[in-house]
Structure 1
């Protein structure tokens, strides 16, 4: 198996563990607080690389950082209103959004992509019906999926021209700075109590910052130098599967039959959207090539 594919699989597995951790942390911290604190932790280890990064890395890292920060914040806010399982499946729709966003770069939609999108919408309907829907939580999580799709496309474009460590460091440091600047103006609950509330969630925040953010963004910067956005996206389709497993193990969350069917359709749609169908070579044509 290609080494870069293995790196993406590892990143997807680790991301699956973050959903129950984010759900737990959101009980005492807001989405912006969680995102800011996790990137502050990550920036501690990545700052030396950021200080040595080129202007090109800072420009590309700034663009990636803004898009990623939108994804992290909307995901964390959304998790305050919906379950980890639903959040994971809705977030997985970024895989479907990648080819649609590709229209901006002159790509054409295929019948295969349209069918996959319709199948995913039906799956989301079944999934959201489980236990009643929440427009705010689902809407924020879909915005997270859109930001993730944009991130995958942008990363595939800029990764080949940057050092992976520099690209990772610049976007993490920028996200930490933007988060700190936004906190006083975001109407967050009692900033004076933030240190205590952060201490209560110290271990999840350190894991989210050092492992799930710094470590996995670094793996992505390496792998997507060689792996296309489309191929990377289909690997990320495994994230909700891992998230469901970890949510069941840590939080005891379950899905009814309708929810499981909806989630299965979403995953199936994600896979179909990236599956490469090829026609068999005619026998006569094959014989002429011998």
Structure 2
């Protein structure tokens, strides 16, 4: 097997594992708030990747902090939306982030290429079929779409920041740590009981959280250790041995993998109309990326 085929096989494995993150997180939303899921997942991941923070360049740390703050809101919208809609529908809407970068170019006054226009038509048709199949557009879908826009802006920002990075994995470790810190601050300010009058409620709250963290530790270990820390390393290795076009086409099938695992994990099924919408969305994603410029930032965007 050539190095290129090994790289393609690695990226296929990456996409399959990414596809499991949607049903895995959806499974946790019945017990935990979205921010607790984000905090636990990224705290575990940064523990694994912490060696890359040792003697990291200051500019890499600065980039990681900036990117991490944006990434936190990406996940906040995504997981909040997951609590209100199916995991496969959330995955397909979130996958539209690949169209956000060229759309940002349009807002900057640059006319879109024909492939982008075609990709947008396919994506809109796919969304219409998907929503027709799964019910009217809801708040969970809006949150997932906001997450897609945030992910698109994040990828564009990362593309700029990684051009001057000394070590890409140092930037990644710094941003994952920043996501964990942002989630902890968000919890303390908005969710955790505070004040002298909340002592009894606070005790019940932390007992509930502690007990459920122990009960669901395999889910969190899988999300933090496997889906984030380990898969990022495999993704960097795989993409370094493939072309940007090959990687983009492989990544476009992530929502399909999410729908596949959502069926077996959560029993979420789609009708023929829903799969038609899914196929149109994936086609739009592939068309938008084919023969696009290399986007090294996408290699380090954890899903």
Task: Please indicate the TM-score interval, normalised by the length of the shorter structure.
Answer: 0.7 to 0.9
Partner of 2:60: 57
Correspondence for 2:30 among 27, 32, 49: 27
Q: What is the TM-score normalised by the length of structure 2?
A: 0.81
Partner of 2:173: 169
Cα distance per residue 1:103-139 (max 9 Å; x no partner): 4677541122112112211210111122313421101
Partner of 1:270: 285
Correspondence for 2:224 among 200, 206, 209: 209
Residues 44-53 or 103-112, more deviating = 103-112
Partner of 1:287: none
- 1:121-200 matched pairs, under 5 angstroms: 121-160=124-163, 161-187=165-191, 191-192=205-206, 193-200=208-215
Partner of 2:196: none
Distance in 2 separating the partners of 1:98 and 1:231: 18
Distance in 1 separating the partners of 2:155 and 2:9: 17
CA-based RMSD of the aligned residues comes to 2.7
- Structure 1: state its 5+ residue gaps: 278-290
Cα distance per residue 1:49-68 (max 9 Å; x no partner): 22421111111111221222
User: Residue 26 of structure 1: CA displacement?
Assistant: 0.7
Correspondence for 2:262 among 235, 247, 258: 247
User: Residue 227 of structure 1: CA displacement?
Assistant: 7.5
Contact 1:89–1:240 (Cα < 8 Å) also in 2: yes
Contact 2:256–2:278 (Cα < 8 Å) also in 1: no
User: Residue 221 of structure 1: CA displacement?
Assistant: 5.3
Partner of 2:14: 11
Contact 1:25–1:34 (Cα < 8 Å) also in 2: yes
* CA spacing shift, 1:12–1:105, aligned 2, 3 Å: farther
Cα distance per residue 1:61-119 (max 9 Å; x no partner): 11221222222221111111111111111111112222212446775411221121122
Partner of 2:275: 260
Contact 2:245–2:291 (Cα < 8 Å) also in 1: no
Distance in 2 separating the partners of 1:101 and 1:6: 32
Count of residues paired in the alignment: 277
User: Residue 187 of structure 1: CA displacement?
Assistant: 3.3
Matched, 1:114 2:117: yes
Contact 1:92–1:236 (Cα < 8 Å) also in 2: no
Distance in 1 separating the partners of 2:242 and 2:190: 38
Correspondence for 1:86 among 70, 86, 89: 89
Q: What is the TM-score normalised by the length of structure 1?
A: 0.85
Partner of 1:238: 253
Partner of 1:98: 101
Partner of 1:48: 51
Distance in 2 separating the partners of 1:203 and 1:118: 41
Distance in 1 separating the partners of 2:222 and 2:56: 25
* CA spacing shift, 1:66–1:226, aligned 2, 3 Å: farther
* CA spacing shift, 1:50–1:106, aligned 2, 3 Å: farther
User: Residue 165 of structure 1: CA displacement?
Assistant: 2.6
* CA spacing shift, 1:6–1:66, aligned 2, 3 Å: farther
User: Residue 219 of structure 1: CA displacement?
Assistant: 4.4
Partner of 1:280: none
